[in-house]
Amino acid sequence: MTTVTVVSAMVAVACGLLFLYPYVIYPLTLRLLPKKPLSLGEAGTDGAGFALFFCAYNEARVMPDKLANIRDLKERYPNLQVFAYDDASSDGTLQLLQAEPDLVTVVRGSGRTGKAHGMKQMVAQCRADYLVFTDANVILDVDCVAELGRYYADERVGGVGGSLHYISSAEGTATEAAGGLYWRLEEWSKALESATGNVMGADGSIFSVRRELYPDFPDTVQDDFTVSMAVVFAGKRLVKAPSVVAYERLVSDRADEARRKVRIAARAFHTHTVMKSGREAMSPVDKYKYAAHKMLRWWGAVPVSVGLLAALVFLASVGVPGLIALAAATVLTVAARVVVPKSSSFVWDLLVAVMSTLLGVLRARRGETFAVWTPPATR
């Protein structure tokens, strides 16, 4: 074999391993770390000391289900406070919220100010000891508040991330399948991170922090990432609670999911730059977790692109066998698209997700921020 053949093969393999590292290899390395068990308390609370917050923009379609869920929570926890921030909705969301004054304290924005701004406004009006954050389109299991109380019985715990269960549409699109796979890998990593110390950030669908750890932050950051990581920066534990359950529908359209990935990645990377001082103070183990879980994923499109290029160079360097292999791969790809279109679409959706994440990071590096949001139409 020629030097080009050997080097291109090594580069292709190395890129493949680098891309897979945060999803597969990194969680396996966490199994080597010592476990840090928790001292959970007993379940049972009337909601006193807890406050639930969510922001909404044009969520009238899901608001009846959301309000029904809040009613169930209030019946279980009569002293639970619930706040909703309306970010200048134009579809009747505000009116639906205001029609339930016994369930929800509504805070109305002066215009499109975004989720981070809205969360800060609501928290400023509340003096609860434990702050619980969720999204307008998320349904919470009625046991969630009691389960959060069990975790807070351990004084070392400063924040708790829940377990999000995604719900697919009746069609079960390839975009949903790709999103579901990503989230299962994400939940696997977070469970192992929690067992060995700290989770690297909580998802905004359901998480909670102690009031005294709630930080100050600009409106342009990703508030769930900022608030949850503030727990780690303060020296408390941020853990994952599989018994704190939330339900959310997957985005079923590729274009909607791509736009969502761009926005999330851009906000996450911008937040990453804002949190520089906190990151530098983390323990070596947490720095490793952060780099492997967060940073490698943001740049995942780079090893994918370089690896594919190296693979093509490898095939070209081996001559006729390489051309035969490339032709066979092309034929199989076309056949798969015809015979099992969902499978080939699934691979395409994974690639779109990876590329959209990189695009979001690049836009953030150019100084772009995404303070406001629009709910995906196909969620």
Q: Report how far apart the first and last C-alpha atoms of the chain are (Å, whole number).
A: 51
Structure tokens given for 100: 């339930």
* Residue 341: per-residue pLDDT: 46
* Residue 339: per-residue pLDDT: 44
User: How does pLDDT run across 54-95, given as a tens digit for each residue?
Assistant: 999 999 999 999 999 999 999 999 999 999 999 999 999 999
Nearest to 164 by CA among 241, 68, 230: 241
Nearest to 234 by CA among 260, 202, 198, 263: 198
Nearest to 48 by CA among 162, 149, 160: 149
Alpha-carbon span 13 to 291, nearest angstrom = 21
87-92, long-range: CB < 8 A, 24+ apart: 87/55, 87/56, 87/57, 87/112, 87/113, 87/114, 87/115, 87/118, 87/372, 88/57, 88/112, 88/113, 89/56, 89/57, 89/58, 89/59, 89/60, 90/58, 91/58, 91/59, 91/60, 91/61, 92/60
Alpha-carbon span 317 to 253, nearest angstrom = 39
Q: Catalogue all structural domains in the chain, each as residue range(s) with its CATH number.
A: 1-379 (3.90.550.10)
Residues of the chain under the 70 pLDDT cut: 168-179, 250-254, 319-348, 373, 376-379
* Residue 369: per-residue pLDDT: 81
* Residue 175: per-residue pLDDT: 57
User: How does pLDDT run across 274-306, given as a tens digit for each residue?
Assistant: 999 999 999 999 999 999 999 999 999 999 999
Alpha-carbon span 332 to 357, nearest angstrom = 28
